[in-house]
Structure 1
Amino acid sequence: MIVSALAAGICLGAAAAPAIARTGAKAADRFDGTWSVEVITESGSCDRAYRYGVIIQNGQARYAGGGDFTVSGRVQPSGAVRATISRGDAAAQVVGRLGSEGGGNGTWTTSGSASCKGRWNAERRG
């Protein structure tokens, strides 16, 4: 199911971060490491909840398990997250914030063949 697979990929957006300009690179590096992200569906036909690993390195995020999602987004030096995760005709907009204390949270909304929305929570693991 594409919607389930897309919602599974939402965690990528929780920390999605293309390379930050050199001026902000040091500040963005404070989010580098391994994160565990819980994705919870609050409305729509997506599966209820997921938990996945995300690795952030040099401000760039990637799914710890591989995958076939397209991720574009950014984590600002302040920790603000804005990203899009897509697969086929399904896409999710992700917004939120990572904190320097090793946690983060935000919301997500899908578009495309099915409409879902929910929230995400992240914890730094290493």
Structure 2
Amino acid sequence: MIVSALAAGICLGAAAPAIARTAAKAPDRFDGTWSVEVITESGSCDRAYRYGVIIQNGQARYAGGGDFTVSGRVQPSGAVRATISRGDAAAQVVGRLGTEGSGNGTWTTSGSTSCKGRWNAERRG
């Protein structure tokens, strides 16, 4: 359950994780609120979650409370790379957001529980 929550909070988060950004400071077209659905395809993590993620200046963070650590970014191209962690559990997230207000990708956990799956995102604001 913790691992699935990590993967979800992340997705962009949460999220979102470590993507290089260009030096030019242009407005980030992916900034805003996103709804992320996380689906487990293998492992003992819960089947599915839906979470809010906020992207600000290309940095993704979980929109809810909790003791998750989210590190990552959305590149100007829309590429997402993130790590969500809690205790010894972590989820690595990769994928892409599109300018049409949606995105998708995959996630994989590490630590005491091994799971993997996919995520889908929709812009909410």
Query: TM over 0.5, yes or no?
Result: yes
User: Aligned partners of 2:111, 2:21: CA distance in 1, in Å?
Assistant: 35
Task: State the secondary structure of the residue aligned to 2:5.
Answer: helix
User: Aligned partners of 1:114, 1:61: CA distance in 2, in Å?
Assistant: 24
- Quick check: 24-33 or 36-45, which moved more? 24-33
Following superposition, the deviation at residue 23 of structure 1 comes to: 5.0
User: Aligned partners of 2:45, 2:54: CA distance in 1, in Å?
Assistant: 24
More helix by share: 1
CA contact (8 A) 1:18 1:59 kept: no
Distance 1:23 1:10, change over 3 A: closer
CA contact (8 A) 1:7 1:46 kept: no
Following superposition, the deviation at residue 22 of structure 1 comes to: 8.3
TM (norm. structure 1) is 0.85
Number of aligned pairs?
Answer: 125
Distance 1:55 1:94, change over 3 A: same
Runs of 4+ aligned structure 1 residues displaced above 6 Å come to 17-22
Deviations 1:54-99 (A, max 9, x none): 1112222221112211111121110001111111000111000001
- The unaligned stretches of length 5 or more in structure 1 are none
TM (norm. structure 2) is 0.86
Deviations 1:92-123 (A, max 9, x none): 11000001110000000000001000000000
Distance 1:25 1:103, change over 3 A: farther
- Quick check: 95-104 or 57-66, which moved more? 57-66
User: Aligned partners of 1:38, 1:22: CA distance in 2, in Å?
Assistant: 25
Distance 1:19 1:50, change over 3 A: closer
- The unaligned stretches of length 5 or more in structure 2 are none
Distance 1:113 1:96, change over 3 A: same
User: Aligned partners of 1:81, 1:38: CA distance in 2, in Å?
Assistant: 15
Determine the structure 2 residue equivalent to 1:55: 54
